[in-house]
Amino acid sequence: MKTLPLLITTSWLAIAGITVRGAEDSGFPEFSWDHVPLYAHLAIGDGLKQEEYDFLAEHFDLIAFTGGTVKDGSVEPNIAAGAKAIKERNPKAKVIFYWASDMPKPQWRLSNATFPDGGYLPAKKGGRDSQQFDVRRQEVRDWWSGIAGKAVSDYGCDGIFVDGLTAGVKDGPWSKMFGPEQAEAMDRGMLKMIQQAREKMGPDKLILFNPLHGYDQDHPGLGEQYLPFTDGAMVDDFDRNQSRQQSPEYMANTIETMHKAAKDGKIVVFKGWPKFTWHTSPEIMKKPREEQLRLAREQITFPLACFLVGAERHCYFCYTWGWLGEYGTFDRYPEFDQKLGAPKGEATREGWTFRREFEHASVLVDVEKKTGKIDWK
């Protein structure tokens, strides 16, 4: 297996006062193999309907709220109201606060209003002007980690979902924007910022990040080097339409990366997709929603089977065709009501084929042919 380049050395971590997160699961959501373990990741916008909170609280023990469309005001109070609504219905649920670490998001108006002067770095992203957080600066790290603390103390969340954590990797976005030397310095600042956030959130609070990827012959893995400093990560682009190259090697190694991270005591969210997304499939998005859901239900077996052959304790499956609730979060799939039971052992692999047995299911996956089969017992 290829090893990931880790620019952050143990000696530097000691000098910087950064601690490595252990394998303990204190503060993690309760986990069960009774059915497919599920995670919800959705935009809260101006708030959800009461029946939508009911659905989330009934079916998910780990939920992340993101921004979406906020017509008036700022999204932070809406996330706070959402966390309160979920916990009133399901006190065991863990709700985490989406908090981007690389650049500002417009929905977070309250937080953005207190950003320190001079803390942005102008840059081009996707051909457009953008502002990036200069995380080399202590005042920027203080501000960002302070909002992470407020996510817990003021907004009632159980931690943060950190988007953009890997921006400073070799040949990553910041390297392309600012050059490798500055990107490396910013990457170190990012880890200091994460450490501050953990201190301000307090004990037993969660830090999950995005993304986590395996590797193939043409692309290095991504994210694994940040797992020691966090509680886990999301695999966000697995077999996602028109996204990261989906070679058999990439898919097989992503499954194994998830498996290893979970074995090491981390939470891993496996984001599965149907063969279409809200962003890349305009013709399908013009069809009635009932047709979109029909396709999603037809296409769930392969991503779910890939998840199951690699899943361990504290792995969660998420399946939608977008980040808004209307793109599948509030739909129920028959597979989720089937009894699963604990795995009887590790998956076996022959070439690009994986097999695994659970108490109530037999799973077969071929990542080269992109086929999967689940026999429910």
Residues 328 and 317 sit within 8 Å (Cβ to Cβ): no
Type of residue found at 7: L
Q: Residue 10: inside a domain, yes or no?
A: no
Residues 165 and 209 sit within 8 Å (Cβ to Cβ): yes
Q: What is the pLDDT of residue 24?
A: 58
Q: Residue 87: inside a domain, yes or no?
A: yes
Q: Residue 302: inside a domain, yes or no?
A: yes
Q: Residue 140: inside a domain, yes or no?
A: yes
Indicate the pairing of strand 361-366 with strand 315-319: unpaired
Statement: the pTM of the whole predicted model exceeds 0.75: yes
Structural tokens at position 186: 């910013």
Q: What is the pLDDT of residue 6?
A: 46
Q: Residue 181: inside a domain, yes or no?
A: yes
Q: What are phi and psi of 7, to 5 degrees?
A: -80, -20
Q: Residue 359: inside a domain, yes or no?
A: no
Q: What share of the chain is helix, strand, coil (3-state, %, to 5)?
A: 35, 20, 45
CA dihedral (167, 170, 173, 179) positive or negative: positive
- Which among 204, 165, 207, 138 is positioned nearest to 8, based on CA atoms? 165
Specify the long-range contacts of residues 56-60, CB closer than 8 Å, at least 24 apart: 56/86, 56/93, 56/329, 57/85, 57/86, 57/89, 57/90, 57/93, 58/89, 58/90, 59/332, 59/336, 60/93
CATH number of domain containing 107: 3.20.20.70
pLDDT tens across the length of the chain (377 residues): 443 444 445 444 544 556 666 555 789 999 999 999 999 999 999 999 999 999 999 999 999 999 999 998 999 999 999 999 999 999 999 999 999 999 999 999 999 999 999 999 999 988 899 999 999 999 999 999 999 999 999 999 999 999 999 999 999 999 999 999 999 999 999 999 999 999 999 999 999 999 999 998 888 999 999 999 999 999 998 877 666 668 999 999 999 999 999 999 999 999 999 999 999 899 999 999 999 999 999 999 999 999 999 999 999 999 999 999 999 999 999 999 999 999 999 999 999 999 999 999 999 999 999 999 999 99
223 vs 213: CA distance, rounded Å = 7
Burial (CB count <10 Å: 0-12, 13-18, 19+), residue 207? buried
Q: What is the pLDDT of residue 370?
A: 96
Domain count, the chain: 1
Q: What is the pLDDT of residue 17?
A: 58
Structural tokens at position 221: 């893995």
Type of residue found at 198: R
Residue span of the structural domain in which 253 resides:
33-342
Q: Residue 349: inside a domain, yes or no?
A: no
Q: Residue 64: inside a domain, yes or no?
A: yes
